[in-house]
Amino acid sequence: MWSSFRPGFSQTSSLFGNEEFNRIYYSVGFEKDGGATASSKPTTVLKIARPASYADLRNHVEQRCHSNLKQMSDETITQLISLIPRDLSELDIRLDVFEFIPNPSRDALVQC
- Per the structure, the complete domain to which residue 58 belongs is given by 4-30+41-101
Domains contained in the chain, number: 1
- As a whole number, the mean pLDDT across the chain is 81
Which has the closest alpha carbon to 93: 61, 40, 52, 38? 52
Mean pLDDT of 50-78: 94
Give domain status of residue 112, yes or no. Answer: no
Lowest mean pLDDT among 16-25, 83-92, 98-107: 98-107
Query: What's the pLDDT score for residue 1?
Result: 43
What pTM does this model have?
0.71
Around Cβ 48, how many Cβ atoms within 10 Å?
A: 10
The CA distance from 71 to 61, in Å, is 12
- pLDDT(8) > 80: no
